[in-house]
Structure 1
């Protein structure tokens, strides 16, 4: 409904100091359209930057001498576009700016945008690659592995924290067990039994600061046992590879195809340890099929050790659950998971289960690393798990993520019709690949120049592989996702045909 009849609005001709808005400029019957356009333009040009707070609807309506309903309708339109959002006591703030169109000039740098520092970062990622990419501005961030942080259950977390604090003894504020609080280990054991089919004794769990720390602890213990090489999936997580290499382990690439890890190549490699994501491979999303799972289990029974990264197995939409390898082979699998993809990475809470022969060494390494995770967040998370709040959050997120996943798949089919989609049935991201010689690092750099941030697939490869992009959808609205993919379609036309550097993915 357009509440913009000037005769009924009783607007004045005084205007407002805010953006020097003058309602007398609006065409008859088009007041809401005019105000929406003015605010959208101000956001696009930076006069209202991301984080800027808009006046309350009543205040702006009074200043302009117009109906409050006109301002409310305008704010609602911009909210649906994903450009503003209500943030409680902060009021209504700008959260995203519209993408620059392909006809608008790129930033003036004196050289082609795909040849700037962004392309160097995206084609040759160093140890600081994730930090540098995170710091680069983008209108729409499709970075994979990021959950919907706006959906964090703040009210439920605060209730749980208050409940924990009300019962906490003074002694509980002291140093605790480096393996984690008993309450969280019990809660995680129950969660793993329900969602991952793992029967675990709470005493066998080790609470860690995310899967990243688990990888580091395992790498240290392996080095102590004279293991200096670990097989990894290829493509496979650049971040995980960096953590392993940081502790001196060589990462031996084992190819992944549409059935998962090539166990025959793993066996021929002579590697004694492999890190894998069998339930939802990162980044392609493939599930290790039944025959390959059996092959991997036989390999482990012959003396191999598996580091299982179960990073987002709860997020599935169009396929049945896949049991964790740890559930079938506890003596040969070190299992790691976390809350980062379900609640927020900032909590830095994860867990690991290790064969008995490694448990005490891992706890000792954890003790030396940080004396154990902070106790209060552990107890708060345990309360969320035991109260059923985390289960309700998962059901809510699955519905939201499915809608966003569907929007991305539709947009890819419309704007990148020749791309092949991988891994859409589960997770927080999907991967697309191209059959031609597109330089995916150049494509990602050019997309960033137009305001869209994502990962080139080559970031996550050691072996030659088809070029592509890794696209996260969990943290963006369907409107944002559609706009971003449309922009990627335009940019792809500009960089298609550029060949990646020798040895690139």
Structure 2
């Protein structure tokens, strides 16, 4: 039995007993022991765990065994990995922690857009990023720099567009990485995509718009609600394998369209160059506005970068970006690159909404971008998410080869189309009975018709939890077919 002291702070005993004749892998025994200690309250929230090398030496195992155990507990939500290489007991426990079996492999509860409020064993909820990987040390350096060097007048009221430092840093980044044609004077900072689209709808209505088009299927439930409340008609434009069907857009009589052209949500299609050119011709002919939601284009794995549409027609396309999928949604940092004719109106709507976004956060992000920390963070996270995506695809091939994955080359989710004999709602319901959270495509359709499919968000799940989740889904599907 290994008996060690924890790292820093008020030390607590970490008692782990390994039985090499038990027939259970050593990393699973370590997981079970730590998990039980947390559930029983012996390891308090925030307590530091020993470094992996120290714990491995004390237990007489390889460091890789301890690393695998820690990574699984981080994926389950019991532990939190902090910058600097140390690990702590998470501040909040998964809802399933109380009463969970010591050797159970659970996943974090749903949070964000796909939250359902249930404690699933594994939850493939979409729209979540791994906030445990937030670059705290680098962010703190930028905070300190800002508090030390920011001019006093930056702390006063500013205009509705935000701070100039962030406008310049964003334009440098977006023009370099996303191929935009942005200038600092056309950037408006907002509190995430949700506020940004709300400001745009207000401006569209004031300019006489009557109808707005959305991709079908689409995650833009907020657009439907906001547009309806503002008196706009909402029309769905069908999505094919390569994104929105432009011929249907021509027939829509819309004054604006919201697109996810670089990685369509949820199907994952990429709008072709010819289709992009045709959308822009449509916008110019009608005097319409294209709203480009570039929500996760930084995460790509098996394809070359796809540039933003805004770079092709900056006078007709609003570029919408956010830190929610790349850093953390809790930052509430978003940005719009607006055609020059609309900048003043969008900025005025922002002032009316909240007098402007927090200045310290804006300046911190500007410094973070300028130092290259954002690029470094993305380079670090791409292989992490790619491994999780690969684990999902491997599990689907093993357990459910009849499902057809789509949109796998980028992003933080995969759609898998169901064969005709499986009814989407029945599969989702059966999966929940087996402790699995997964969303169907159906609720995100505007017209309400189309093939059945499942949305697998994998960003916050460990590779073992992903494999377990797909195995649970296979059981649920066998149950549906048996019924």
TM over 0.5: yes
The reply on whether 1:307 has 2:298 as its aligned counterpart is no
Q: Over the residues paired in the alignment, what is the CA RMSD in angstroms?
A: 3.7
User: How many residues were matched structurally?
Assistant: 451
**Closer, same or farther: CA 233–200 of 1 in aligned 2, 3 Å:** same
CA deviations over 1:333-387 (Å, ceiling 9, x no partner): 1221111111111111111122222221111111100111100010000001000
C-alpha distance in structure 2 between counterparts of 1:52 and 1:469, whole Å: 37
Matched residue, 2:70: 79
For the 8 Å contact 1:215–1:244, the answer to whether it is kept is: no
C-alpha distance in structure 2 between counterparts of 1:454 and 1:35, whole Å: 28
**Closer, same or farther: CA 69–56 of 1 in aligned 2, 3 Å:** farther
For the 8 Å contact 2:217–2:444, the answer to whether it is kept is: yes
Matched residue, 1:173: 155
Comparing 455-464 with 164-173, greater Cα deviation is found at 164-173
CA deviations over 1:22-61 (Å, ceiling 9, x no partner): 97xx868559969954962895899458996598778xxx
Matched residue, 1:372: 356
Comparing 163-172 with 71-80, greater Cα deviation is found at 71-80
Matched residue, 1:126: none
Question: 1:315 deviation in Å?
Answer: 1.3
Gaps (5+ residues) in structure 2? 5-11, 51-56, 105-110
For the 8 Å contact 2:212–2:232, the answer to whether it is kept is: yes
Q: 2:242 aligns with which of 259, 283, 290?
A: 259
Question: 1:181 deviation in Å?
Answer: 0.4
Matched residue, 1:236: 218
**Closer, same or farther: CA 100–228 of 1 in aligned 2, 3 Å:** farther
Gaps (5+ residues) in structure 1? 12-16, 59-66, 105-128, 499-505
For the 8 Å contact 1:334–1:353, the answer to whether it is kept is: yes
Matched residue, 2:313: 329
CA deviations over 1:65-98 (Å, ceiling 9, x no partner): xx94269988655324335535568834596679
Matches within 5 A, 1:35-434: 37=29, 40=32, 43=35, 47-48=39-40, 53=45, 68-69=58-59, 76=67, 78-82=69-73, 83=76, 84-85=78-79, 87=81, 91-93=88-90, 133-239=115-221, 240-303=223-286, 304-434=288-418
Question: 1:412 deviation in Å?
Answer: 1.1
Comparing 487-496 with 457-466, greater Cα deviation is found at 487-496
**Closer, same or farther: CA 34–273 of 1 in aligned 2, 3 Å:** closer
For the 8 Å contact 1:180–1:206, the answer to whether it is kept is: yes
**Closer, same or farther: CA 307–315 of 1 in aligned 2, 3 Å:** same
For the 8 Å contact 1:216–1:247, the answer to whether it is kept is: no
Question: 1:226 deviation in Å?
Answer: 2.7
C-alpha distance in structure 2 between counterparts of 1:71 and 1:247, whole Å: 63
CA deviations over 1:300-329 (Å, ceiling 9, x no partner): 121232111111111111111112111111
Normalised TM-score (structure 2)? 0.82
**Closer, same or farther: CA 242–497 of 1 in aligned 2, 3 Å:** farther
For the 8 Å contact 1:140–1:452, the answer to whether it is kept is: yes
Question: 1:490 deviation in Å?
Answer: 1.5
Comparing 229-238 with 178-187, greater Cα deviation is found at 229-238
Normalised TM-score (structure 1)? 0.79
**Closer, same or farther: CA 132–433 of 1 in aligned 2, 3 Å:** closer
**Closer, same or farther: CA 36–222 of 1 in aligned 2, 3 Å:** closer
Matched residue, 1:122: none
Question: 1:331 deviation in Å?
Answer: 1.5
Comparing 460-469 with 431-440, greater Cα deviation is found at 431-440
3-state secondary structure, aligned to 1:214: helix
Q: In terms of Rg, which structure is larger?
A: 1
C-alpha distance in structure 2 between counterparts of 1:208 and 1:198, whole Å: 19
C-alpha distance in structure 2 between counterparts of 1:343 and 1:473, whole Å: 16
The reply on whether 1:474 has 2:464 as its aligned counterpart is no
Question: 1:485 deviation in Å?
Answer: 1.5
3-state secondary structure, aligned to 1:206: strand
**Closer, same or farther: CA 57–295 of 1 in aligned 2, 3 Å:** closer
C-alpha distance in structure 1 between counterparts of 2:3 and 2:418, whole Å: 57
For the 8 Å contact 2:134–2:327, the answer to whether it is kept is: yes
Comparing 286-295 with 384-393, greater Cα deviation is found at 286-295
**Closer, same or farther: CA 202–402 of 1 in aligned 2, 3 Å:** same
C-alpha distance in structure 2 between counterparts of 1:215 and 1:367, whole Å: 15
C-alpha distance in structure 2 between counterparts of 1:33 and 1:320, whole Å: 40
**Closer, same or farther: CA 443–46 of 1 in aligned 2, 3 Å:** farther
**Closer, same or farther: CA 57–144 of 1 in aligned 2, 3 Å:** closer
